[in-house]
Amino acid sequence: MRTRSEVVIVGGGIQGLAIAYHLAKDHGLRDVLVCEASYLCSGASGRNGGGIRAQWSSEVNIRLMQESLRLCKAFAQEHRINTWFRQGGYLFLARDPATCETLAQSVKLQNECGVSTRLLELREVTRIVPELSLDGVVAASYNPDDAVVFPWPFVWGYAEGARALGVEVAPFTEVLDIELSAGRVSAVETTRGRVATSCVINATGAHSPALAAKVGIELPNQPHRHEICSSEPLKPWLGPLVADLSNGLYFSQSTRGEIVGGVSNERVPPGANQDSSNRFLSLYARALVRVIPRMADAKILRQWSGLYDLTPDRNPIVGSVDGVGGFHLVCGFMGHGFMMAPVMGKLMAHHVATGERQPLFDQWNLRRFREGRLLSEGMIIG
């Protein structure tokens, strides 16, 4: 492994790899090393539901996701890899007046941004998913352009694309420490030796607080287990990803026919535990059967979990850090860091390569917590 690198990206999940790829491709910056503690896809990027949507309640998320959807759609052709991109839309369900209002406001904003989401009459909902029980549902929104993909090819595509351009992607290479010199990063200490560098990007997802602590930075985000499961393959019957905002239930049908989904489990304490629980299965089964009674007969074949990277205001933490030169953050992406990575990879690479100010990163900067400028987002699932 090289002993000196212009940029060291810590974390070989989709965020770190997308940045590496765009540094090399868009800016010709090939002297880049990605250190991944385990195998590629070991983190949340290899464990998620692959949902990609432009239905959000804040303008910044809507606009970023319009661009990310475009990038995701073009990914297979650009990287010569099948992503199982399936544009069946996202169908959101609301069951109470407050959520109904959030949905209506969000649809209005999405339409102003050019996203073709519609608030649906309930009879239209059953036209889109005839198997759906509308008992208790008071409103629904649908954007036909939202999509679902298989996540792994994105991770592999970015890794291979970056490698082909000269980036070194080093799995099984954990960053143990970060050296500082005169208030700037000067090297990282890894399980495979020391690497001198003046630029470190913390893309370690739910592990980002531990890495930031190495340079004396305290982050407010916390890891939180999120469980997910997959049914036996069924004949294709479900077009959109369905999300119930009342309990965080979401499910979609994969191209192999499996129903893949999860649900909120409010009793899960913060921590990096990635076990699977019976409680999750029973919460999920009850929530799913309430919405799709016919799923009562289906069998669950696999269950796994990953880590959400939760921030206090449900928005990410991105950009440079006051007081530590050359140290950048790209973390706190909750349950939507996968879909954000294509656009974030481009923006972050531009910022690191050119040093140009990125107004978005001011909004998402760590200092907002110190300054009490908290943000909000009403359409987080799970």
Ligand X SMILES: Cc1cc2nc3c(=O)[nH]c(=O)nc-3n(C[C@H](O)[C@H](O)[C@H](O)COP(=O)(O)OP(=O)(O)OC[C@H]3O[C@@H](n4cnc5c(N)ncnc54)[C@H](O)[C@@H]3O)c2cc1C
Q: How far is the CB of 327 from ligand X (least distance, A)?
A: 14
Q: How far, in Å, CA of 17 to CA of 361, rounded?
A: 19
Select 167 or 228, whichever has its Cβ closest to ligand X.
Answer: 228
Least Å distance, CB 213 to ligand X, is 11
Q: Is 32 in the site for ligand X (CB under 6 A)?
A: no
> Quick check: 51 binds ligand X (CB under 6 A)?
yes
Cβ atoms of residues 252 and 238 within 8 Å: yes
Q: Using CB under 6 A, pick the residue from 19, 36, 65, 153 that binds ligand X.
A: 36
Residue 140 or 339: which CB sits closer to ligand X? 339
User: For residue 187, what are its two tokens?
Assistant: 């090297």
- How far, in Å, CA of 376 to CA of 368, rounded? 12
Binding of ligand X at residue 153 (CB under 6 A)?
no
Identified binder of ligand X from the candidate list 50, 89, 248, 326, rule CB under 6 A: 50
Q: For the CB of residue 105, give the shortest distance to ligand X in the complex, in Å.
A: 22
Q: Is 142 in the site for ligand X (CB under 6 A)?
A: no
d(C-alpha 365, C-alpha 67), whole Å: 21
Binding mask 219-258 for ligand X (x = CB under 6 A): -------x-x------------------------------
- Closest to ligand X by CB, 92 or 100: 92
Stretch that binds ligand X, among 201-209, 283-291, 318-326, 350-358 (CB under 6 A): 201-209
Give the separation between CA 194 and CA 182, rounded to whole angstroms: 19
Q: Interface with ligand X includes 315 (CB under 6 A)?
A: no
Q: Does 197 bind ligand X (CB under 6 A)?
A: no
CB of 204 to ligand X, least distance (A): 4
Task: Please work out the total of residues on this chain that contact ligand X, with binding judged by CB under 6 A.
Answer: 40
Contact segment (CB under 6 A) with ligand X among 101-109, 193-201, 329-337, 360-368 equals: 329-337
Binds ligand X (CB under 6 A): choice among 7, 9, 14, 140? 14
Give the residue with the Cβ less far from ligand X, 43 or 240: 43
Residue 211 within binding range of ligand X, rule CB under 6 A: yes
> How far apart (Å, rounded) are the C-alpha atoms in residues 299 and 281?
11
- CB 123 to ligand X: min, Å: 28
CB of 158 to ligand X, least distance (A): 10
Q: Give 150 or 369: the residue with its C-beta nearer to ligand X.
A: 150
Choosing from 219, 317, 339, 360, the residue that interacts with ligand X (CB under 6 A) is 339
Residues near ligand X (CB under 6 A) are: 10-16, 35-38, 42-45, 47-51, 174-175, 203-207, 211, 226, 228, 262, 306-308, 333, 335-339
